[in-house]
Amino acid sequence: MTRALLVLSDGTIFEGLSFGAEGEAIGEVVFNTSMTGYQEILTDPSYKGQMVAMTYSQIGNYGINTEDVESAGGPKVEGFIVRECPDFPSSWRATLSLSQYLRDNGVVGIEGIDTRALTRHLRNHGAQMGILSTTDPDPAHLLSRVRRHPGISALDLVKEVTTKEQYSWTEGCWRWCSKEVRDLASEIGNKEKTDHRSLPPRPYRVVVYDFGIKFNILRNLVEAGFDVTVVPAETPAEEVLEMNPDGIILSNGPGDPETVTYAIENARRLIGKKPIFGICLGHQILGLAMGGRTYKLKFGHHGGNHPVKDLSTARIEITSQNHNYCVDIASLRGKAKLTHKNLYDGTEEGMVHVEFPLFSVQHHPEAGPGPNDSAHLFRRFREMIGGKT
């Protein structure tokens, strides 16, 4: 196997083995604490510009299938870092191995390093830029190159992952098939999809700004009873208002929210005109559009087990998270109030406007890392549109 090097911008070096594509990648190195869901992580557009280190020891043991993706066009991560990648997946749904999937999509991966040491280093010193190479054996040369990189805060990564064209979405959430349907698996494949005849009526139309939308957000919107239209990130606010939707979604996405200036300006022009629900980057964009500020976390929140308290119900939800930035609610000067709080570090996780029909959350309510505790937020948005809240 080919030797691979991971060099962080502070000079820390990890040597391992290549298990993906040959080549090099530069990105911000973050760690994710999820034990499963690596295919969803790889294809989450919010990871554009980043290299992800998985803290769980074995990644790839159930392989890759054709369906558990969160976006079109293959992986969005810049590089992938694991302790061990089994080359013989055991799931009946697998169509290829993780290493082959990375090779097919040109993603550089490294295995065989001490991911616990890397995680502790990032936790203590913060997320930082790194370079991963299978072709350059000189750590000093790699270090000089990664230090010349301007960092992801200098890039508008949303433009790299947003849709190019407007489209409609009609697929609902997946279900585990009945025995009768499973018996027909050879005819229908292994996708456990909702029967569209069982979906709720869709009296409300929503427009979704795609800053890096995950497919399961769209599925949950359909499941909650929405007619869904997705538009590119730079769509002018006036064009969306001409569509006369019942509500507007600002989606998740990658990078520093302050770089997405067009999205901030569009959100500013939409506030008060239509009910709005912001998710992750969309939440941060709303905070900036209301005149607040965002700040960067030391190493971010990336994983599937973050406890968040809903302050309106005192209910604690186990959530999936993927973000490096937070909204400073105090900086909004009373325009919005805090609705959710992260119980790991006390950071802000959600807000609601004090005057207009608008709320947002920092975590990913569509994700199901086991619990589906936050899926009710899609119904809450429907109730807001219907005038019940």
What token pair was written down for 187? 């005819």
What sign has the CA pseudo-torsion 272, 239, 278, 312?
A: positive
Question: Whole-angstrom Cα distance, residue 317 to residue 302?
Answer: 16
| List 24, 280, 302, 340, catalytic entry | 280
Q: Given the DSSP bridges, would you call strands 293-310 and 336-342 parallel, antiparallel or unpaired?
A: antiparallel
364 is a catalytic site residue: yes
Annotate 143-201 with DSSP letters as a single string.
HHHHHTS--GGGS--HHHHS-SS-EEE------PPPHHHHTTHHHH-S--PPPGGGSPP
For residue 320, the 8-state DSSP code is E
Buried b / exposed e over 194-224, threshold 16 CB at 10 Å, is eeeeebeeeebebbbbbbbbbbbbbbbbbbb
**Dihedral in degrees, nearest 10, Cα atoms 114, 118, 119, 125:** 160
Question: SS3 of 306, please?
Answer: strand
Cβ-proximal residues to 103 (8 Å cutoff; 6+ apart), any chain: 20, 21
Which is catalytic among the residues 70, 317, 349, 366? 366
Q: Across the chain, which distance is largest between two alpha carbons, in Å? A: 62
Active-site option among 283, 301, 302, 364: 364
Q: What are phi and psi of 342, to 5 degrees?
A: -75, 125
Which single residue is written with the structure tokens 């508008």? Answer: 156
Q: What whole-number distance in Å separates Cα of residue 232 and Cα of residue 165? A: 6
CA distance 143 to 129: 10
Catalytic residue list contains 366: yes
CA distance 143 to 127: 16
Our answer to whether residue 125 is catalytic in this structure is no
Residue 314: what are its φ and ψ, rounded to 5°? 65, 15
What CA–CA distance (Å, rounded) separates 146 from 107?
Answer: 18
188: number of Cβ within 10 Å = 12
| Active-site amino acid positions | 280, 364, 366
